[in-house]
């Protein structure tokens, strides 16, 4: 666990510096649920309201062209975390983008505070059918329709989508045991989850060749000139480490 914490912190610091001045044209954002310690309904009374126990959401911003995960945030599904997540995203980009999120309402104020009017922003609101009550309850219900809501600017409706970032959510659940829905490998402390997420995205961005790109997302985005090896990733431990997580 100490090794995970150390290498997770190193990956966080490296990507915090490398994922800057990005010339992305489109960004898709989504939140993925997990839990730390126990599920929300099982939190002891004396720990109610404590940060880092119960339901935790990882906010993810992905460039659908390069498949690069530009930034992420481990926290709550709240207006405050939405604002901090969007502020961090805005600092990493150099030009005007088209942004698509789901219909979570705090995104509207968060995007405006971070980007002002210098953005083309739409929300893709999906409507789902009733959930099943049998063993299928652990699978999401079927989507029955979707609606595009233009919020700011003039987004190209043909490119309003969250499909790529939702596919990345599946990759997270498949690659990190602690993110699966029915698991005994869940994180016991939020610091462990943060470290695991940073390590996952370092491997995803720099080491893993994307099947459709035939290269890594970092190479497609122009911030790496080769496929990183695991030895190079572990070599980040030799660099000075200090936390780079958003305030």
> Which residues are bridge partners to 172 per DSSP?
none
Task: Please report whether residue 247 resides in a domain.
Answer: no
Q: What is the mean pLDDT of the chain?
A: 89
pLDDT at 15 over 80: yes
Task: Please report whether residue 186 resides in a domain.
Answer: yes
Q: How many domains does the chain have?
A: 1
Task: Please report whether residue 243 resides in a domain.
Answer: no
Task: Please report whether residue 166 resides in a domain.
Answer: yes
| Cα 155 to Cα 164: distance, rounded to the nearest angstrom | 17
Domain that includes residue 200, residue range: 2-132+140-238
**Which residue stretches of 54-205 are H helix?**
79-91, 106-115, 163-175, 190-202
Task: Please report whether residue 245 resides in a domain.
Answer: no
Task: Please report whether residue 62 resides in a domain.
Answer: yes
pLDDT digits (tens, 9 = 90+) for 137-183: 556 667 677 889 999 999 999 999 999 999 999 999 999 888 887 77
Task: Please report whether residue 84 resides in a domain.
Answer: yes
Q: What is the pLDDT of residue 140?
A: 64
Burial class (CB in 10 A: 0-12, 13-18, 19+), 152: middle
Q: Domain of 128: which CATH number? A: 3.30.420.10
pLDDT digits (tens, 9 = 90+) for 66-107: 999 999 999 999 999 999 999 999 999 999 999 999 999 999
Task: Please report whether residue 15 resides in a domain.
Answer: yes
pLDDT category of residue 47 using cuts at 50, 70 and 90: confident
């Amino acid at each position: 666990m100490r090794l995970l914490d150390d290498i997770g912190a190193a990956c966080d610091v490296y990507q915090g510096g490398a994922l800057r001045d990005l010339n992305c044209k489109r960004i898709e954002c989504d939140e993925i649920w997990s839990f730390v310690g126990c599920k929300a309904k099982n939190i002891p009374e004396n720990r109610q309201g404590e940060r880092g126990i119960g339901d935790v959401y990882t906010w993810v911003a992905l460039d659908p062209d390069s498949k690069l995960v530009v930034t992420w945030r481990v926290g709550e599904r709240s207006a405050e975390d939405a604002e901090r997540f969007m502020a961090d995203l805005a600092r990493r980009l150099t030009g005007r983008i088209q942004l698509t999120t789901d219909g979570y309402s705090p995104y509207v104020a968060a995007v405006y505070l971070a980007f002002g009017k210098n953005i083309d922003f739409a929300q893709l609101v999906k409507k789902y059918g009733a959930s099943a009550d049998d063993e299928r309850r652990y699978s999401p219900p079927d989507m029955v329709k979707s609606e595009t809501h233009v919020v700011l600017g003039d987004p190209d409706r043909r490119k309003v989508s969250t499909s790529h970032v939702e596919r990345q959510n599946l990759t997270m659940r498949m690659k990190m045991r602690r993110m699966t829905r029915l698991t005994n490998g869940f994180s016991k402390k939020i610091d462990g989850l943060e470290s695991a997420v940073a390590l996952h995205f370092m491997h995803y961005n720099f080491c893993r060749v994307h099947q459709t790109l035939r290269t890594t997302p970092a190479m497609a985005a122009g911030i790496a000139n080769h496929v990183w090896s695991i030895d190079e990733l572990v070599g980040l431990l030799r660099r000075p480490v200090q936390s780079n997580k958003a305030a």
